[in-house]
Structure 1
Amino acid sequence: MRFDPLNFGRAIVYITIIFSVLDRYVLPKFHVFDPVKLQEICNESIELYGDDSPNYNRTLLFNDLAARLQKEYPKHVSEVKWDEWVFNNAGNAMGGMVLLHASISEYLIIFGTPVGTEGHTGIHMAHDYFTILTGRQDFYYAGDVEKRVFLPGDQNHMRRGDKAQYALNGFALELAQGCIPCMLPFGFLEAMTSTLDYQSLSYTVWVTARHMTKSLLQGKL
């Protein structure tokens, strides 16, 4: 079958229009997570087990956070499954992540690294709320002359379409709200083109699909 550039271009336009309509008018109706509430819950756990607490312990911090999130969103948040942590490479940054929720319109993960990483945020059809749990994030928009610093308890909100450089040494709770399938190529591409870590990629696809299927069965996009 001969490749037809005109029909291919039309298909891209139609797909873009469909996703834009979904992103603007349909998917927001299915959002269940409140970024302000998430930041409040994070600070409760940080106060108990964060960097400056007398009981500092990252394992207890993440477990406590997940338990509080489950209490607030009992149908939508999973516990921290320590055997489901997986490497992720995106925008030249590398870290570990564990999935707490995934659906067509939202994902909620704990992401980070204790050794430090740096890269490009990517450009996404989603709002991203990055609440620092431990360590720090240094952040830079083109045109800034000073870096922006986010410490435990701070929440960095990137609006859809924004792009920036960041460095992270620590962990954060990340909420994305928008067209989540449109974000997946950014998270998967480097595994196919540079790291060749197909084990992490396949496991990420499996866990994400499992969470999305669960959400769909609950009637949540």
Structure 2
Amino acid sequence: MRTLYILGLIVPLICYLLDSSLPKFYKFDPVKLQALSKASIEAGAGNTTVIFEHLVAALQEEYGTQHVNGLEKEKWFFNNAGGAMGAMIILHASITEYLILFGTPLGTEGHSGVHLAHDYFTILSGEQMRLDAGDIEPRVYRPGDQNYLPRGVGTQYVLNGWALELAQGWIPSMLPFGFLDTFTSTMDIANLWKTVYLTGVNIVGQLMLGKF
């Protein structure tokens, strides 16, 4: 009992200290990402491909090619999570952050999930609608707007378009949310393997650079 009592005191303290140290590992600034996104939206003039190319180039210039991947077509994959489906590409993935392009021009709807990470969703094209429990009317986000979802909060959303998404927090804890639909509905094992492989390669690669 004495050991359990000591563990009951020490474990929460360790978790608190680890959690409070997370921000010092963050590389990306949500305010800067929104500014870069707005500049790319203006440069793209409605052409999503141009917006992507302009934005990724700007991100690589700002944060370095060692921390921001390019737009190789073979590195896109599907994501099914919370009932929603879209395509995504990993621009950055580490223990404490991920940065992705995500969306679909076909429209999708689902649950955001409840995560141990803050989420910043900057719309690049199209539109996103969000409904929190208790809302009567949706919040609407259009190109240049940034939808912030604090960690521990879940919401319903509808997306018809594309976004730059930044998550900051305990990224590995978010992965099961992105994997479970494979086993409960899609059975797309090849896509799951691609997701796991690319995520792992990016996280390990960033660890080798000293980025947690």
TM-score by length of 2: 0.92
Correspondence 1:154 to 2:145: yes
In structure 1, C-alpha distance between the alignment counterparts of 2:152 and 2:103, rounded to whole Å: 22
In structure 2, C-alpha distance between the alignment counterparts of 1:206 and 1:27, rounded to whole Å: 25
Question: What is the Cα-based RMSD across aligned positions, in Å?
Answer: 1.9
In structure 2, C-alpha distance between the alignment counterparts of 1:16 and 1:166, rounded to whole Å: 33
Residue 142 of structure 1, CA deviation? 0.2
- Residue in 1 that maps onto 2:178: 187
CA change 1:197–1:19 in 2 (3 A) is farther
- Residue in 1 that maps onto 2:47: 57
**Structure 1 gaps, min length 5:** 1-6
Residue 26 of structure 1, CA deviation? 2.6
Runs of 4+ in structure 1 displaced over 3 angstroms? 14-21
Which residue of the other structure, out of 120, 128, 134, is the alignment partner of 1:129? 120
Q: Matched residue pairs, number?
A: 205
Residue 94 of structure 1, CA deviation? 0.3
CA change 1:76–1:15 in 2 (3 A) is farther
In structure 2, C-alpha distance between the alignment counterparts of 1:185 and 1:166, rounded to whole Å: 19
In structure 1, C-alpha distance between the alignment counterparts of 2:141 and 2:17, rounded to whole Å: 33
Of stretches 24-33 and 209-218 in structure 1, the one that deviates more from structure 2 is 24-33
Which residue of the other structure, out of 84, 94, 100, is the alignment partner of 2:91? 100
Correspondence 1:171 to 2:166: no
Amino-acid identity (%)? 55
SS at structure 1 position matched to 2:27: coil
In structure 2, C-alpha distance between the alignment counterparts of 1:127 and 1:20, rounded to whole Å: 17
- Residue in 2 that maps onto 1:217: 208
Preserved CA contact (<8 Å) 1:19 1:179: no
CA change 1:19–1:104 in 2 (3 A) is farther
- Residue in 2 that maps onto 1:199: 190
TM-score by length of 1: 0.88
CA change 1:197–1:63 in 2 (3 A) is same
- Give the residue type in structure 2 aligned to 1:121: S
Correspondence 1:67 to 2:20: no
Correspondences of 1:109-148 after superposition (within 5 Å): 109-148=100-139
1:137-191 Cα shifts (integer Å, max 9, x gaps): 0000000111000000000000011111000000000000000000000011101
CA change 1:184–1:18 in 2 (3 A) is farther
SS at structure 1 position matched to 2:102: strand
Preserved CA contact (<8 Å) 1:89 1:95: yes
Correspondence 1:38 to 2:33: yes
Residue 82 of structure 1, CA deviation? 1.4
Preserved CA contact (<8 Å) 1:94 1:117: yes
SS at structure 1 position matched to 2:21: helix
